[in-house]
Amino acid sequence: MTRNRVKMAYIENETSRKATFRKRKGGIMKKALELSTLCDVPIAVIVQSEYNSVPEVFPPSRQAMGNVVARWDSLPLVDKTKKMMNQEQFIQQRITKATESCKKVAKENKELAMKEVMYDCLRGDTAPCDLGEDELRDLGGVIDQYIKGLNRRIQVLMRDHASSSTSVVPDADVATSVAMPTAEMGSSSNVKDFDLNQTQSE
Amino acid sequence: MAKKSKGRQRITMAKMENESNLQVTFSKRRSGLFKKASELNTLCGADIAVVVFSPGGKVYSFGHPNVENVLNRFKNINQPPLNQNNNVRFNEARPNDAIRVMNDFLTQVMNDLELAKKKNEELKKIRKNSKMPVNWWEDPVEELDLAHAKEFKGLLEKLKSYVTDEASKHFQAIFPQPNFYGGSSSGAPFRDGGYINPNLDPSERRMFNVNAYYNQNMYPPNYPLPYGNNNYAGGFVPEYSLNYMHGFNQYRNQNQNLNFKEEGISENECHQDGLPPHI
């Protein structure tokens, strides 16, 4: 997206800093104008820099600026401070939001990964004994979640069956030749319990 | 899946017509404006104040060092300056240490977020690519019929029982009981880590390298956190390495070239040779 990712820290290089200031200040004024126009709201921006003894402001007209400031002044302190922020507070807020977002995505990633592991187990590509303690715990959680979902689905389907006039006999003979999950994890003697690839006629 | 929105569109520079869009736009753009102001201060050391009234009449403001300070200096510009020190303070224009540390931390969190999102995309892509229509159980739950749903449920419950069994062995490793891990008795369950998938030639059974799979990827900040944000460092979920996923796909695509472990090694992975501590 950007050509060069700028590090969010004070720019030591004098020339760069001045150039950056000029560009970004211009950008802020433009954005302020857009916000003010699109949403039809009063806005004031005041910038005080080392490059100009006079503050640079938006809106540029003295009268418009005066109006906004007057409106601000007329407010009780309570209203002013309710949504007032300085740098420390603002950055902290951003940190908090980003952290929460991050945790949420990480959690979803874990679930997605565990789901793959679950499918792996069913396919026989791996087994619980291959997994570490934490993975087992997470896998258990994902399986439980999935079972809950299945229960809900079963409930819904049973309700629908009950309400429909024809009684449907669930197809118990899953003798289709399509692949079946094989939850492999025991010694060979247990395999038959799981192996649905054989027909159910046994 | 249908496209959710029309994407970025050119917008006319006039008051927005749709009331709710206006509210949303206000919220987003106000937030963006504050962010720009924050960055201007961080990067260039400029003092700044932004005051915004909402469509509903509420005031939002942002300022460094604080809104009132900047506003007052602006107001006093028009009067003969009582103190001439306005520009002197720009020797101290650099953001103070606390802000610097916070910005560094924020950058780190944003990076982590970006990485996590990327991984999210990749995981979803993997799922999409590995889905085989013939595996009906991989379909969303909502698409299963009653028979399949019940069958799958039974299977998962069984799998769960194996998982809890296996997990309890870890527990027992901490509190070892004598003779639990007997020698090489062929009757012991899980002995060969084994699962015998009749679909697979036993010589092709693949054993996971647990370490490759479970990559503990925590990011402790290497400087003191000003706000002791322990929740972040401690609670950050260890990420599962995508190395696992790549190996997984390799396996699926080419049944040859498998990397599988000897039976002996897998045994050790499956259960520790946990003799009770020698008393």
Percent residues over pLDDT 90 in chain B = 33
Percent residues over pLDDT 70 in chain B = 54
Q: A159 pLDDT exceeds 80?
A: yes
pLDDT at A22: 97
Q: B195 pLDDT exceeds 80?
A: no
Mean local confidence (pLDDT), B20-26:
95
CA B1 → CA B4, B5, B123, B129, distances in Å? 8, 12, 18, 16
Q: B246 pLDDT exceeds 90?
A: no
Angle formed by the axes of helices A87-123 and B242-253, to 10°?
30
ipTM field: 0.76
DSSP 8-state class, residue A53? E
Residue where the block lists tokens 């739950």: B141
Q: Is omega for the bond preceding B226 within 30 degrees of 0, making it cis?
A: no
pLDDT at A143: 92
Q: Give the residue, B102 or B231, on which the prediction is more confident.
A: B102
The answer to whether residue B265 neighbours chain A at the CB level (below 8 Å) is: no
d(CA A136, CA A128): 7
pLDDT at B213: 37
Percent residues over pLDDT 90 in chain A = 58
Mutate to test the interface with B, among A130, A169, A193, A194 (most CBs of B within 10 A): A130
Mutate to test the interface with B, among A5, A86, A159 (most CBs of B within 10 A): A86
**Cβ proximity of A118 and A139 under 8 Å:** yes
Which 3 state secondary structure label does DSSP give A2?
coil
Q: How close A60 comes to chain B (CA, Å)? A: 13
Among the partner-chain residues B25, B113, B190, the one whose CB lies closest to the CB of A101 is B113
Q: A165 pLDDT exceeds 80?
A: no
Interchain pair A20, B44: CB under 8 A = yes
- pLDDT bin (cut points 50, 70, 90) of residue B3 is low
d(CA A136, CA A130): 9
pLDDT at A70: 96
Mean local confidence (pLDDT), B19-47:
96
Contacts of residue B51, defined as CB under 8 A and 6 or more positions apart, other chains included, come to A43, A44, A45, A68, A72, B59, B60, B61, B67, B71
Mean local confidence (pLDDT), A145-165:
84
With CA atoms as reference, the chain A residue closest to B144 would be A153
Q: How close B186 comes to chain A (CA, Å)? A: 10
